[in-house]
């Protein structure tokens, strides 16, 4: 179904994630479109969009592991931690490669990270960046994140190129700022590209201009992936007509002994009909989200 699937877009620098969502709503004429993890306007790369009732998968997709290519510029720090913000420290200095390599291990694994003041985190109903823009100091708290992989790709002072694989909720801008602070040179994020979000890589993404052409000639459906492909880490439970009817009405279906975790209920034709959870010591699959009426 064209109105139930996943559309992976290679977002260019400039438009917001919300603007891309609106463009896709207009181009597909599908009212329900949502993204599974926002990208800042100055960032490019993988933006996963859920179409129709597949928007209900976004809670799983938005918490998936992300991969980025980041350019960090040493010598100055900004209020926003990126190149858009006011410069608050300017040293004109860059660390040596040896100094950088010595510091990077401190940013690997589970770490505590302070989000930027200019972020969308809500504080008593207001977004942090709204408070910061009004001249206030958002009272943010550090959060635990995980950097699964952090590799130095290249370094030509003042620009450092890093490949970063991290948990959802990680601010790459904060990594840039904190790295500059610890090295005593100041730094900010100069460029960012997301190359993977969950199971979807940049190779799966359609460039936004190409998608817009698809809208104009009514050939956009070729870029939509089946919703069944969205959560490969979930088991697959193939169901027949009788089980489909049970799931349709929210009833449990029998499971093999020892079943555990979450699963995708998929018909013999390959259509995703529900997200299931193993219950009662794995004796049953309970439908948590049903996509058939």
Cβ–Cβ < 8 Å for 254, 246: no
Residue 222 makes CB contacts below 8 A (sequence gap 6+) with 214
Cβ–Cβ < 8 Å for 35, 16: no
Encode 145-161: b = buried (16+ Cβ within 10 Å), e = exposed: bebeebeeeebeebebb
Q: State the maximum Cα–Cα separation within the chain, in Å, rounded to a whole number.
A: 70
Catalytic annotation present for 40 = yes
Q: Distances from the Cα of 13 to the Cαs of 143, 210, 263, 282, in angstroms?
A: 27, 15, 36, 46
Q: Which of 40, 82, 178, 204 is catalytic?
A: 40
In 3D, which of 270, 271, 275 has the Cα closest to residue 290? 275
How far is residue 179's CA from residue 190's CA, in Å, rounded to a whole number? 13
Cβ–Cβ < 8 Å for 118, 129: yes
Residues forming the active site: 40
């Amino acid at each position: 179904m064209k109105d139930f699937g996943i559309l992976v877009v290679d977002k260019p620098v400039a438009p917001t994630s919300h603007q891309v969502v609106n463009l896709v709503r207009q181009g597909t004429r599908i009212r329900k479109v949502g993204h599974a993890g926002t990208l800042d306007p100055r960032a490019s790369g993988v933006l996963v969009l859920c179409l129709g009732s597949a928007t209900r998968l976004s809670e799983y997709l938005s918490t998936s592991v992300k991969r980025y290519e980041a350019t960090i510029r040493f010598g100055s720090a900004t209020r926003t931690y990126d190149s858009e913000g006011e410069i608050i420290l300017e040293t004109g200095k860059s660390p040596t490669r040896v100094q950088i390599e010595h510091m990077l291990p401190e940013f690997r694994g589970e770490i505590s990270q302070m989000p930027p003041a200019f972020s969308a985190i809500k504080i008593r109903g207001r977004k942090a960046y709204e408070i910061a823009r009004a001249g206030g100091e958002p009272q943010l708290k550090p959060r635990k994140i995980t950097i699964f992989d952090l590799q130095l790709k290249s370094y030509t002072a003042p620009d450092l190129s890093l490949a970063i694989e991290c948990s959802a909720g990680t601010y790459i801008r904060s990594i840039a700022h904190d790295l500059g602070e610890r090295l005593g040179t100041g730094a900010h994020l100069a460029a960012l590209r997301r190359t993977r979000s969950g199971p979807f890589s940049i190779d799966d993404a359609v460039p936004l201009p190409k998608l817009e052409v698809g809208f104009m000639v009514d050939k956009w459906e070729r870029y939509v992936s089946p919703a069944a492909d969205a959560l490969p880490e979930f088991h697959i439970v193939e169901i027949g007509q009788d089980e489909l009817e049970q799931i349709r009405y929210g009833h449990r279906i029998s499971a093999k002994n020892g079943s555990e975790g979450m699963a995708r209920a998929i018909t013999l034709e390959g259509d995703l009909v529900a997200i299931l959870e193993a219950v009662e010591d794995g004796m049953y699959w309970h439908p948590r989200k049903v996509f058939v009426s």
